[in-house]
Structure 1
Amino acid sequence: MANPIGIFDSGIGGTSIWREIKKLLPHEDTIYLADSANAPYGAKTKEEILQLSIKNTELLLQKNCKLIVVACNTATTNAIDYLRANYDVPFIGIEPAIKPAALHTQTKKVGVLATKGTLSSTLFNSTSKMFAQGITVLEQEGIGLVELIEEGKMLAEETRRLLKKYLDPMLEQRIDCLVLGCTHYPYLIPLIKELVPQGVTVIDSGEAVAKQTGAVLEENNLKEAPKNWTGHWFYSNTRNNILSVLVSGPSVYVEYLDF
């Protein structure tokens, strides 16, 4: 196996990022850590998030990862500065796509659905101030959504009810862009599109993160040459059949470990 791209998240949500990376960079091997035993990160303290991020990073480095994608908005906003300062590999972070939403909105009102850990972070607030001048940013904490997604209840009626409760107040304020500020939430897009008017654009960070990953590999001469075979390894510390369903395919291996 060539030196892989490492990816970690507080569970299965970051597989939405992995899909985009795999699509854009088909010759790259990947290793993904699903820290489901500690999901969700969004309700934890900054120190807890930092320690979990360090643990995940060091495990990926032990597996010779050449670049690490922090496929979790909460971990990015609370830990990526420390990780970049203390480890020698490049890190790619995830943060809510405020900039494209601010550029796209016509009503000058943007909704952000995210976890408490992301919405309360310094990075999120500085990004909002930088890119959303003259824009009203309506923040909504998605309490309980990560847990439902981890249980595979992406289309369940209880998920629909919870989403409607969170989306309706933002829609009443005439948002025309909805930013998904958690990598779990793209799995809710089919439901979200049933609950919002056609004029509301749903924005997530997956494609942009994949493009940035490719650019950083190129800059650091780390890009893999074309080859006939790639492998994708998924490690979870909770036995979760949903993970196997989401990532099934050729050369995909799912294993359960204590970490």
Structure 2
Amino acid sequence: MKIGIFDSGVGGITVLKEALNQLPGMEYIYYADTINVPYGTKPKENVKKYIFKVVEFLNDKNIDALIIACNTATSIAIKDLRERYDFPIIGMEPALKPAIESSDNRKVIVTATNLTLQEKKFNDLVTKLNSWNIVEPLPLPKLVEYAESFIFDKNIILPYLKKQFEKFNLEEYGTVVLGCTHFPYYKEYFKEVLPKDIDIIDGNYGTIKNLKNILNIKEKKDQKESKITFYISGREDKEELKKYLNILNK
């Protein structure tokens, strides 16, 4: 079975890693649209054009299912994509429901890109869960830029995170949601900045579990080795592939 995974850049590698854990033995095509990254700070209509171009490319590769490993792309395009294509399309959204359930009646901070937090999909989710009184959005666009530049230096990341969280009285909060697939790279730094009793969650595990259920894939013994092909904005690039594999194997 051939599964496409698409992100604006390196963020979706965290989703691919979870897919390899839960669904070994599959053929994966990973597409990073690095020419147009970041999506989260660009005009919505421009980003939508990028997304449809990528998905048409993957459709031509005869994929059986698609994971949009980008919260921003999911927010602005998944409905239209599902109307156009017949294969299952799994999107990302901030893991708000489990965050609320684990917050012990305290507030929840949802970190994501600006565009994700501004979109109707996110606002509808908060409204559906009747949680506007406890949910605080926090855009962290610089983390996307850092990840795409392969910057993981603690001396750069920690000061940025500390500054972003200093506006909150963190004793009031029970959970922080990593609502962008780039953010799990920095999970250990989030732990250093936040009080130890705050849970930090992302949507990667639930996304792949959802895909398994939709495809009705059961666990099998003696799985063959997974095959991964990387495309960087439409071209297969072995040099970039090495960088991505280094991140994947961390």
- TM-score, normalization by structure 1: 0.88
- Displacement of 1:105: 1.1
For residue 114 of structure 1, what is the aligned residue in structure 2?
112
Secondary structure of the residue aligned to 1:153 is: coil
CA distance in structure 2 between the partners assigned to 1:41 and 1:21 by the alignment: 23
- Displacement of 1:118: 0.2
CA distance in structure 1 between the partners assigned to 2:169 and 2:19 by the alignment: 32
Structure 1 residues 1-259: aligned runs within 5 Å: 3-133=1-131, 135-172=133-170, 174-218=172-216, 227-237=223-233, 240=240, 242-247=243-248
- Displacement of 1:152: 1.5
- Relative to structure 1, the CA distance from residue 224 to residue 105 in structure 2 (aligned partners, 3 Å threshold; closer, same or farther) is same
- Amino acid paired to 1:247: L
Q: Deviations over 1:76-104 (max 9, x none)?
A: 00000000011111100000011111111
CA distance in structure 2 between the partners assigned to 1:27 and 1:82 by the alignment: 30
| Unaligned stretches of 5+ residues in structure 2 | none
- Displacement of 1:157: 1.5
Q: Deviations over 1:182-229 (max 9, x none)?
A: 0000001011111111100001001001100111111xx899996423
- Displacement of 1:242: 3.4
- Displacement of 1:168: 2.5
- Structure 1 segments, 4+ long, off by >4 Å, are 221-227, 238-241
Q: Percent identical across equivalent pairs?
A: 34
CA distance in structure 2 between the partners assigned to 1:166 and 1:43 by the alignment: 17
- Amino acid paired to 1:177: T
- Amino acid paired to 2:195: P
- Amino acid paired to 1:245: N
CA distance in structure 1 between the partners assigned to 2:179 and 2:108 by the alignment: 12
Asked whether the equivalents of residues 111 and 137 of structure 2 are also in contact (C-alpha less than 8 Å), the reply is yes
| Unaligned stretches of 5+ residues in structure 1 | 250-259
- Displacement of 1:170: 3.0
Equivalences, count: 245
Asked whether the equivalents of residues 155 and 191 of structure 1 are also in contact (C-alpha less than 8 Å), the reply is no
Secondary structure of the residue aligned to 2:72 is: helix
- Relative to structure 1, the CA distance from residue 64 to residue 145 in structure 2 (aligned partners, 3 Å threshold; closer, same or farther) is same
CA distance in structure 2 between the partners assigned to 1:236 and 1:226 by the alignment: 31
Query: Alignment RMSD, CA only?
Result: 2.2
- Relative to structure 1, the CA distance from residue 170 to residue 23 in structure 2 (aligned partners, 3 Å threshold; closer, same or farther) is same
Q: Which moves more between the two structures, 153-162 or 76-85? A: 153-162
Secondary structure of the residue aligned to 2:152 is: coil
- TM-score, normalization by structure 2: 0.91
